[in-house]
Every structure is written in structure tokens, then in C-alpha cells.
Chains A and B, each alone.
Chain A
């Protein structure tokens, strides 16, 4: 079976989630690979969520928020824009290609942009292939081991 990337998308409630909704009501086709988690603000995305997602088997994580200056909470996305580059360096240290983590701004009116970003990300991750971490192999090994018993 062809590789279908599993991507976790953290979408802010006011812009990106609404934008994704708009893409839906506008019947814009996009890759089904992004699994969406709604947060009130992209600033709510705890770095540990992203690491946890990779640990649990996500092939990519995309965080989407309002364009700078448009944040419903005035400046939540400025917090995000400082966290993500730092996280990229961190995951690289863990052996995860930083391209697997993405930060994008999608406003409530940009349904087409949401679809474009999702498709791009999916294709990029597809090209990168599945994420293989030692934690994953351990759990696979454990599973095989368990079957053996």
C-alpha cells in the first residue's frame, strides 16, 4: 500500500479553523491527510503537543494561525512564531527533519490557501517518507515480541 502521511494540524479557532471550514463549504478539494485539532489560539499549542504527536506516530505537524496583526487575542501568534523555529532546531536534534514541522498563517477568508498549504505539506511529507524514530521501532519491536508470546 502506498504511503499516506499522517499529519497533525493545530488550527486556531478564529482564523485557520474557520478558513478550513470555508474550504469545506466552498467544496475545495484538499488532501485528507491533515487531522485537525482545534485550539483557541495558535499560542495555545504547547511545544510538548508537537513532540508528543511525533512520538505517537505523526509524520508531520502543521500549526496554523492568524496572519500577524490579525490575532483574535492581539498577539498570540507572535508567541507561536517565536516557539516554532526553536522547536525546529529541537526536533532536528531528535533526528526529525525540520521540514516535518510547519507554521502557516491562514485567515478565515483563505479557504483556498488552507487547501494549498495542506496539499503542499502532504506532498512534502510524502516525499520525505514515513517518520521513523527509535521510539516507534521500539514499540513495533514490542508489538512483534508480544505477538511471539
Chain B
């Protein structure tokens, strides 16, 4: 460890620490333009100059790459340093008068007007100030080596090799992220299949899946992570103090023994591109309800502001109900939650903007506790309710200056009129539908589905949480569309059912099962191989088969196959079924 004094403050740092870092530790600010924690000190901007004093001797050094020495005293703001720094800033300012970082720096240093006139004056607000951050991050962090400096002196500029888009570029955007002026921009239009998207998901390659995630641990998206493409970066590992970032971790299958299972695999939302008339995916500012939910989120892409793609507030918002639900072409059922969240959207849009709000509904279904009251409150807030499913959303122009907008065409069935409503934003209330992989999940647990495709409960009224398979329960939208209160009620009920079995410590099983009548059993072992539960074993000493009653589920496959009728299926014996036949076919 080395002890030194910076501006009179004593600070202790490890050997070879640059002065800049030591000053940071002492809480002293030193201006820089080219320095970043991400890569090795570059030392080109010269703004971080300080005076290193040893005895009577003093040197002006760049603090970003000058290591601390025992017994030196550092002055970061001496008259000499102030003079040097001011000159540097004046030169920067004369060349890039409109760049914000330079302006801020000038204000900080106290430069109002540069004394010089630059030969290469660049008036742009997003001009390249040649700090080299993009070049360094691409070389050292991303390790793609796409960007480089070319020419010298006032001709110096950042270029792509030969001026063409490089195949080595992995379109990671690190250069645009570090650029202090915004000169490096991500222009992804159709570049190698990567199009700019209005993403509602994570913006970084390492992220916490949701704010409510349990456990709340970040995950790495290996497809967009730079490390997994070039082997470089590892920024997250460098900044993680407990060294918790592990790039070697692999997906693994974990086997856990459980006695009861609650299947609550949720839902998917209807793909609105299947209803091309509403323009989803084709027209700007047509959103699904989940996307709009993200827009409303204060940690979302717009910070909770209701704005259009061009950043402006919409003049009118149309909310179209029943997209894909209550529709014989798609899903005949009602998705239940849409009416209420559509009202919530209207309420929030009213709260955050001055936009006119139109709801296009088939029927309003405010069925829950306090829901009808909320509906009435919304009516008083001046929402326009139009009874009639919108026919289509088309591009249009609106206003004196013919700004592009959208137009919703519909029939207002309450006044029997065809109407065209100009709006800037359309929100589609997509149907809740079974998950795409629900059939695979269903087969895994051998449970059935109802005609709508959701998992089937044992009884719609008397047993709405259990399934046809013992020990497998269902809850939430996996069983059918439902709102949060209903989901909580169903899941709590399922949890209670599960706990009651676990607490008891023993399970009750159906009396329907197979049994071997040993005196008839010839020991042929046909049944042994047939049993899907391996419940039949062969007793070598007696030379007969034997059914483990606890394992047998009573399907009767073995009973039907037994050539000597030694296997009996309790509840469904041959005699019982033949008696049924006799009765049914009696004259």
C-alpha cells in the first residue's frame, strides 16, 4: 500500500494505482473525456493533468495513467494545472462549440469564450470529439476491432476499415453506448437481419428477468452478450465485487422427488397479426395490451409516459376489446380480464395525457367486486364508449397540417351508424389463450384439456383445482382465463389441498385396482410387461404374478390380457361388465 496526499487529503491505495483512481477514492473530481473504467487508460484528452510534487520538484502528468508513488503530493487544481486545463478546454470549445460535454466542461472550468479560432470548426451538436472511447471499447472490451482512427492532426477521424460496414461488427452497440456526444449511432435498418425494434424486454444482455423475480438474480442472454460472441467484454464480471458472474454455467436438469404438483403454467396472448385488419405489426402505434402495459410502467421503455413512436403525446387513443376472443373465427370464449384492464388503461391515459379515449366494446363485463363501480366512475371521467367491434384500423391523416394518424372504422350499434374515429394510438385487447406448449405439459402430467384448450379440472363446480391425475392440481390461467383475485383464490385452494395431503402423511387411493387370483395364474408373465406403472411383479418361489396395490392405478389392461382370467379388476370385473352387457342387450 502507498500513502500519498492529494490536495491535502491523505489517501492509501495499492501500488500501481493511477492517480485518477486514488483521487476518486479521496473524493476529488478530475475532469476527463477519454477515460473509462472499461478499458486501459488512454491518455489522449490531457484534461486529467495534475501536478505530482516530490520535494522541490514538480511534474505535470496525466493522472489517468500515472501510477501513485510513495511520498508524492498531488495537486489537482493548482494555478498551473488550471491554466493548462483551461487552454485544453478552450481548444476543444473552439473546435466543437455545440457539443454538450464540451460546453459543460467549459462551464465547469470557467471558459466563456475560446480565445482561438479552430481550422476545423464543427458546429454539430453530436460531433465526434475524437475521445477514442468507441475505438477503445471495440478493441479492448468487445474485442471485435471494427473501429479505428485514421489520418493525423486536424484530419484525424474515427473510421470503419476501408469505410465499409465490417463483417466483424457484431452489432453490439457498445460504441454507441460509450459515445459521450451521440455521434456514434446504432443504424440497424435491415443490417444482417437485425432490425431496430420497439423492445419492451431487457435492454442489456445481463438483466433481472422481472422486478419481482424469485430468486432476484440477473441472467445473461447468451445470444446478445458480447462475451459469448467474441470472448471479450466480461464487464459484468469485472464490476461484480463478490465475483458472482459465471460464464461457464450451463443449463442443467435437476430431478426432485415430490408428492404433489401444482401446474400453473399461465397463458399466451393471442397473436394479433392473425387479424390483419387491425394493422398490428404493420402500422405504427398499434399496441397489444401487454405492450401498452409496459409503456405505462414507470421502469418501462418510455418511463411511464404515454407517447407515440415519434415521442409525442397522442391526441386520441382507441382501445379495441375482444381481439381473438368472443370470435367464432378464433376463440369463442370470453377472456374475462380485458374489459377491466381496458378501463384501467383509459383511466391511466386520462390521468397522464389530454388524449380523447374511445373504447370499442361488444359487451362490458364488469363482473367482479367493485368493478361495476369502477366502470361507472370511468363513464363520469368522459371516456367515449362505442358499442360495436371495430372493423378495421387504417392509416390516415388528421388535423390542419395533415399529420399522419390512424383511423378506426366501426359500426356504433347503439345509434346504428357507421363511424370513422381518428386516433393516434390503438390498443388491442388480445385474447388469453392456452400456452403453445400446453399439449406437451398436459401429456407430461396426463391431464385433459377442455374444448377451449385450457387444462381440464376434475369437476367444473365441485372440484375446480384438481385434475384427473391424483396429486396434480391446476391454478390460474392454465385452467382458463381469469383475473388476479380468482387466480389467487384458486391457487390458495390448491395449496390447501396439497398441504392437507402432505400434513396427513399418507394418501388415499381409489379402490379400483387389479388383483391376481394365484390359484389360476399360470405364471405366463404377459401382464408383467403390460403394466405402465410396473406394479406387477413375478414371485419366483410361487411362480405367479403379484400386483403391488399401492402402485396399481386400476386401468385393467392386464385384466383384459390375462389368458387364464386369473387377473381380476376390482370395480370392473369380467362378471360385472358381462352383466352390464346382458342388461343392455336384454330383449
- Which partner residue on chain B sits nearest A59 by CB separation? B585
The reply on A4 being an interface residue by CB < 8 A is: no
B572-587 CB mask vs A (1 if < 8 Å, else 0) is: 1010011011101101
Q: Which of chain B's residues 270-325 have a Cβ closer than 8 Å to chain A?
A: none
Which of B49-57, B400-408, B486-494, B556-564 participates in binding chain A? B556-564
Q: Compute how far the CA of A55 lies from the CA of B584 in the bound complex, rounded to whole angstroms.
A: 13
Residue pair B561, A108 in contact (C-beta under 8 Å): no
How many residue-residue contacts, CB under 8 A, span A and B? 108
Residue pair A39, B572 in contact (C-beta under 8 Å): yes
Contact A69:B557 (CB < 8 A) given known A8-B585, A37-B581: no
Chain A positions within 8 Å of B533 at CB level: 73
Contact A56:B581 (CB < 8 A) given known A39-B556, A40-B572: yes
With both chains docked as a complex, state the minimum distance between the C-beta of B135 and any C-beta of chain A, in angstroms.
Answer: 58
Chain B positions within 8 Å of A40 at CB level: 512, 554-556, 569, 571-572
Chain A positions within 8 Å of B569 at CB level: 40, 44
Contact A70:B448 (CB < 8 A) given known A14-B468, A46-B560: yes
Please tell me which one of the listed residues B442, B530, B571 contacts residue A79 in the complex, with CB atoms under 8 A apart. B530
Residue pair B555, A72 in contact (C-beta under 8 Å): yes
Residue pair B555, A43 in contact (C-beta under 8 Å): yes
Residue pair B448, A107 in contact (C-beta under 8 Å): yes
With both chains docked as a complex, state the minimum distance between the C-beta of A71 and any C-beta of chain B, in angstroms.
Answer: 7
The reply on B376 being an interface residue by CB < 8 A is: no
Residue pair B574, A46 in contact (C-beta under 8 Å): yes
Please tell me which one of the listed residues B451, B469, B557 contacts residue A41 in the complex, with CB atoms under 8 A apart. B557
The reply on B343 being an interface residue by CB < 8 A is: no
The reply on B204 being an interface residue by CB < 8 A is: no
Chain B positions within 8 Å of A79 at CB level: 530, 557, 560-561
- Which partner residue on chain A sits nearest B556 by CB separation? A44
Chain A positions within 8 Å of B435 at CB level: none
Q: Compute how far the CA of A70 lies from the CA of B448 in the bound complex, rounded to whole angstroms.
A: 8
Residue pair A69, B469 in contact (C-beta under 8 Å): no
Residue pair A18, B556 in contact (C-beta under 8 Å): no
Residue pair A57, B446 in contact (C-beta under 8 Å): no
The reply on A49 being an interface residue by CB < 8 A is: yes
The reply on A74 being an interface residue by CB < 8 A is: yes
Q: Compute how far the CA of A6 lies from the CA of B468 in the bound complex, rounded to whole angstroms.
A: 31
The reply on A35 being an interface residue by CB < 8 A is: yes
The reply on B416 being an interface residue by CB < 8 A is: no
Residue pair B446, A74 in contact (C-beta under 8 Å): yes
Per the CB 8 Å criterion, the residue count for chain A at the interface is: 39
The reply on A58 being an interface residue by CB < 8 A is: yes
With both chains docked as a complex, state the minimum distance between the C-beta of A90 and any C-beta of chain B, in angstroms.
Answer: 15
Residue pair B582, A44 in contact (C-beta under 8 Å): no
Q: Compute how far the CA of A41 lies from the CA of B446 in the bound complex, rounded to whole angstroms.
A: 13
The reply on A45 being an interface residue by CB < 8 A is: yes
The reply on A124 being an interface residue by CB < 8 A is: no
Residue pair A15, B559 in contact (C-beta under 8 Å): no
Residue pair A58, B449 in contact (C-beta under 8 Å): no
Chain B positions within 8 Å of A48 at CB level: 574
Please tell me which one of the listed residues B451, B554, B585 contacts residue A53 in the complex, with CB atoms under 8 A apart. B585
With both chains docked as a complex, state the minimum distance between the C-beta of B461 and any C-beta of chain A, in angstroms.
Answer: 11
Q: Which of chain A's residues 72-125 have a Cβ closer than 8 Å to chain B?
A: 72-76, 79, 83, 107-112
Q: Which of chain A's residues 9-63 have a Cβ closer than 8 Å to chain B?
A: 14-15, 18, 22, 35, 37, 39-41, 43-49, 52-53, 56-58
Residue pair A37, B555 in contact (C-beta under 8 Å): no
Chain B positions within 8 Å of A49 at CB level: 574, 577-578, 581
Q: Compute how far the CA of A139 lies from the CA of B176 in the bound complex, rounded to whole angstroms.
A: 94
The reply on B475 being an interface residue by CB < 8 A is: no
Residue pair A18, B582 in contact (C-beta under 8 Å): no
Please tell me which one of the listed residues B571, B584, B587 contacts residue A37 in the complex, with CB atoms under 8 A apart. B584
The reply on B331 being an interface residue by CB < 8 A is: no
- Which partner residue on chain B sits nearest A73 by CB separation? B555
The reply on B156 being an interface residue by CB < 8 A is: no
The reply on B194 being an interface residue by CB < 8 A is: no
The reply on B110 being an interface residue by CB < 8 A is: no
Please tell me which one of the listed residues B450, B553, B559, B584 contacts residue A46 in the complex, with CB atoms under 8 A apart. B559
Residue pair B449, A108 in contact (C-beta under 8 Å): yes
Residue pair B448, A108 in contact (C-beta under 8 Å): yes
Q: Compute how far the CA of A72 lies from the CA of B585 in the bound complex, rounded to whole angstroms.
A: 29
- Which partner residue on chain A sits nearest B440 by CB separation? A69
With both chains docked as a complex, state the minimum distance between the C-beta of B557 and any C-beta of chain A, in angstroms.
Answer: 4
Q: Compute how far the CA of A84 lies from the CA of B571 in the bound complex, rounded to whole angstroms.
A: 24
Residue pair B582, A56 in contact (C-beta under 8 Å): yes
Q: Compute how far the CA of A134 lies from the CA of B578 in the bound complex, rounded to whole angstroms.
A: 21
With both chains docked as a complex, state the minimum distance between the C-beta of B515 and any C-beta of chain A, in angstroms.
Answer: 14
The reply on B436 being an interface residue by CB < 8 A is: no
Residue pair A8, B469 in contact (C-beta under 8 Å): no
Q: Which of chain B's residues 195-221 have a Cβ closer than 8 Å to chain A?
A: none
With both chains docked as a complex, state the minimum distance between the C-beta of A26 and any C-beta of chain B, in angstroms.
Answer: 9
Residue pair A44, B555 in contact (C-beta under 8 Å): yes
- Which partner residue on chain B sits nearest A56 by CB separation? B585
Residue pair B456, A109 in contact (C-beta under 8 Å): yes
Please tell me which one of the listed residues A6, A14, A45, A112 contacts residue B585 in the complex, with CB atoms under 8 A apart. A6
- Which partner residue on chain A sits nearest B554 by CB separation? A40
- Which partner residue on chain B sits nearest A53 by CB separation? B581
Q: Which of chain B's residues 154-182 have a Cβ closer than 8 Å to chain A?
A: none
Chain A CB count within 10 A is highest, among B571, B574, B578, for B578
Q: Which of chain B's residues 435-460 have a Cβ closer than 8 Å to chain A?
A: 442-443, 446, 448-453, 456
Q: Compute how far the CA of A41 lies from the CA of B530 in the bound complex, rounded to whole angstroms.
A: 13
Residue pair A108, B456 in contact (C-beta under 8 Å): yes
Residue pair A74, B532 in contact (C-beta under 8 Å): yes
With both chains docked as a complex, state the minimum distance between the C-beta of A96 and any C-beta of chain B, in angstroms.
Answer: 15
Residue pair B446, A72 in contact (C-beta under 8 Å): yes
Please tell me which one of the listed residues B469, B577, B581 contacts residue A72 in the complex, with CB atoms under 8 A apart. B469
Chain B CB count within 10 A is highest, among A15, A41, A48, for A41
Q: Compute how far the CA of A48 lies from the CA of B573 in the bound complex, rounded to whole angstroms.
A: 13
B interface residues (Cβ-Cβ under 8 A, vs A): 442-443, 446, 448-453, 456, 468-469, 512, 530, 532-533, 553-557, 559-561, 569, 571-572, 574, 577-578, 580-582, 584-585, 587
Please provide the 3 A-B residue pairs with the shortest distance between their CB atoms, ordered closest to farther: A44-B556, A43-B557, A73-B555
A interface residues (Cβ-Cβ under 8 A, vs B): 6, 8, 14-15, 18, 22, 35, 37, 39-41, 43-49, 52-53, 56-58, 69-76, 79, 83, 107-112
- Show 7 A/B contacts (Cβ-Cβ < 8 Å), sorted by A: A8-B584, A35-B585, A49-B577, A73-B553, A79-B530, A79-B561, A108-B448
- Not counting A79-B560, A110-B451, a sample of 9 additional A-B residue pairs whose C-beta atoms are within 8 angstroms of each other reads A22-B451, A45-B560, A52-B578, A70-B442, A73-B553, A79-B557, A83-B560, A108-B450, A109-B451
